[in-house]
Amino acid sequence: MKFAKKYDRYMKGMNEELPGVGLKRLKKLLKKCRSDLQSHENDGAAGRCPGHCSVCDGSFFPSLLNEMSAVVGCFNEKAKKLLELHLASGFKKYTMWFTTKGHKSHGTLIQQGKDLVTYAIINAVAMRKILKKLLTKGLSCQIHYSKQGQEFKAQAQSLHIEILQSPWLSELMAFYINLRRSKKDKGVMELFGDCSLIFDDDKPTISCNLFDSMRVDISLTCSICLDTVFDPVALSCGHIYCYLCSCSAASVTIVDGLKSAERKSKCPLCRQAGVFPHAVHLDELNMLLSYSCPDYWEKRIQMERVERVRLAKEHWESQCRAFLGM
């Protein structure tokens, strides 16, 4: 079965209507561009998409950009609400239950977590399929400038709307695995085929398989300290770091936090600016890693405690010196 039909069947089979990517409509726009250019070619014009194409620039790219924004916005909102409900305690949880559609059982939370991860990944594949069709050379889209598609992709990344860059995706995958953990065997992490935590030479990766052909792997190694992320945070660009490492990269103290980071501070990996103030604390991922490698986690807790006390002491000493004019 072709992906477009598989995607169509999946979106129509959902319990509620959610934003999606109009693959058929977008493909028709590309075909229209091709037919227009072929008619120009017959008139002696060059057979390539010009610097400004009324179909591509006027319809295709704006439509896809709007659809990507709607999908990612919907996913982020639903993932945030689901995770807040699961992590809430006491009166706050009961209040959230009443404001949502009644009590959510353990099984319901598992299913909703799985459905959201599936929704994110299949839409990410749909977005990339249509971009690949635009960029492919030697096939139906050889008339298009690859540069146009590349510029659009860069624009989408800069707007943080590629769904696989969403800080909530890894957190939701961890949430799903945590709920599926065996209550009988708390010392061993189960692999569930669709979402799992994998260790390769002590380097952890959270992985998700979908439809036997789609796979998402998210590395859980901090690229600053080169160790397993501890007290992880995801920047708005999607990259994951230890909290202390991210504070160091943003040149802020642990007392002030990442919200105080300057807009010019850049992600150490992708070099995008302004990604620290909206960083997301990955509590579910933190729990998953603490269960999966308890010895390492206990060791890191001891090290972090000493380091945080030292950093906090330095911060308040500097504040006292500034206050006293020393």
Is 210 inside any structural domain?
A: no
pLDDT digits (tens, 9 = 90+) for 69-123: 888 888 888 888 888 776 665 555 555 455 555 445 656 777 777 788 888 888 8
Is 156 inside any structural domain?
A: yes
Return the residue matching tokens 């992320």: 229
Q: How many Cα atoms are found within 13 Å in the side-chain-facing hemisphere of 213?
A: 6
Give how many domains the chain has, as a whole number. Answer: 2
Q: Are residues 102 and 173 in the same domain?
A: yes
Is 72 inside any structural domain?
A: yes
Q: Are residues 174 and 226 in the same domain?
A: no
Q: Are residues 175 and 224 in the same domain?
A: no
Of 155, 181, 207, which marks where a domain is finished?
A: 181
Is 200 inside any structural domain?
A: no
User: Residue 322 above 90 pLDDT?
Assistant: no
Is 192 inside any structural domain?
A: no
Give CA–CA dist 122/153, Å, rounded.
18
Q: Are residues 98 and 168 in the same domain?
A: yes
Q: Are residues 177 and 227 in the same domain?
A: no
* CB-based contact 168:79 (threshold 8 Å): yes
Question: Residue 246 — pLDDT band, cuts 50, 70, 90?
Answer: very high
Is 143 inside any structural domain?
A: yes
Is 237 inside any structural domain?
A: yes
* CB-based contact 207:217 (threshold 8 Å): yes
Which stretches of the chain are DSSP H helices? 3-12, 23-42, 61-87, 90-99, 106-135, 146-158, 167-179, 243-249, 283-292, 294-324
User: Residue 137 above 60 pLDDT?
Assistant: no
Range of the domain at 247: 220-324
pLDDT digits (tens, 9 = 90+) for 140-162: 444 455 456 667 767 776 665 67
CATH number at residue 268: 3.30.40.10
Q: Are residues 280 and 174 in the same domain?
A: no
Is 172 inside any structural domain?
A: yes
Burial class (CB in 10 A: 0-12, 13-18, 19+), 111: middle
Give CA–CA dist 180/191, Å, rounded.
9
Percent of the chain with pLDDT over 90: 13
